[in-house]
Amino acid sequence: MKVLWNEKIVDESEVKIDLEDRGYQFGDGIYEVIRIYDGYMYMEKEHLDRLWVSAEKIRMPLPFTREELSQRLHRLADEVGLENARVYFQVTRGTAKPRLHNFPNPKEVQPVLMADIQPASRPSAKQNIGIRAGFVEDKRWLHCDIKSISLLGNIMALDEAQQKGYDEAVLVRDGNVTEASASNLWMVKDDVIYTHPDGNLVLPGIAKIKIREISKALGIELREEVFTEKELLAADECFKTSSVAEIMPIIEIDDQKIGDGMPGKITKKVLNAYIESVNLSVQAHRDEK
């Protein structure tokens, strides 16, 4: 498999991670995941914008421009040749010796970029029937707005839910729902969509940007407000969103049905509009060629 290693495309076997790379030792890095549909990187600009925001928040100068990174990702996509996939890319702060907790001088350390592309397809079967989730206490750090490679809190929450037989974790902090283990979380009540407002407790999702556009176009009211665990259980519908999962209905939480226990009408409308947005973007890209 070919991967991107800084500015070069190499065989995966050629990649060597330094023992003292700060990403390996501290989780000192950031990442993004972009969905590729029919060869088109969907919402690429928004993903790159968020990468730069995350880099600024951890005071890590990136050694390339947006255009240069985009060109490298597209070269990799052309080399790998997968039409429907996801491209994962991350930047660590690089190797600094000796191992010290303080940030090294950025003039002395070169950040390390890597990216790989794996097949991905729309999870249509699960979207049609929905998934089950369980409440898990949100014990993560207080910088959830940074898309950090330090994801131990997230995966521990997901594992806790899966150990109980659920597909997903719905995170709760001080009685308020924040998000899912790796997705933004939404509920529908009386035809109004609710989600936690952006801030340090949730990741500002790229799919969330699209849902804002979709709800406005469909004439559906959207409120970015905090809601409680109890309010979610009384909701008519629930779904999560991410670039990979798209819009995924959650039909049951802690063995209690949400609404009638089926993907709801608003959820379906949003999902169909999201798929239409993807198709229109792909067609526009083809027309430009």
Instruction: Give the residue numbers annotated as catalytic, written as ranges.
Output: 147
Query: Reduced to 3 states, what is the DSSP secondary structure of residue 261?
Result: coil
Pair 270, 259: CB distance under 8 Å: no
Cis (ω within 30 of 0) for the bond into 106? Answer: no
By three-state DSSP, how is residue 30 classified? strand
Residue 235 contacts residue 257 (beta carbons within 8 Å)? no
CB 158 within 8 A of CB 168: yes
Cα dist. 198→67, 163, 223, 231 in Å? 27, 29, 12, 19
CA-only gyration radius of the chain, Å: 20
- Write the CA distances from 174 to 6, 44, 178, 227, integer angstroms: 41, 35, 10, 11
By CB atoms closer than 10 A (0-12, 13-18, 19+), residue 45 is exposed
Task: Report the distance separating Cα 108 and Cα 87, nearest Å.
Answer: 29
What's the CA gap between 105 and 100, in Å, rounded?
12
In terms of phi and psi (left: phi > 0; alpha: psi -120 to 50; beta: otherwise), the region of 185 is beta
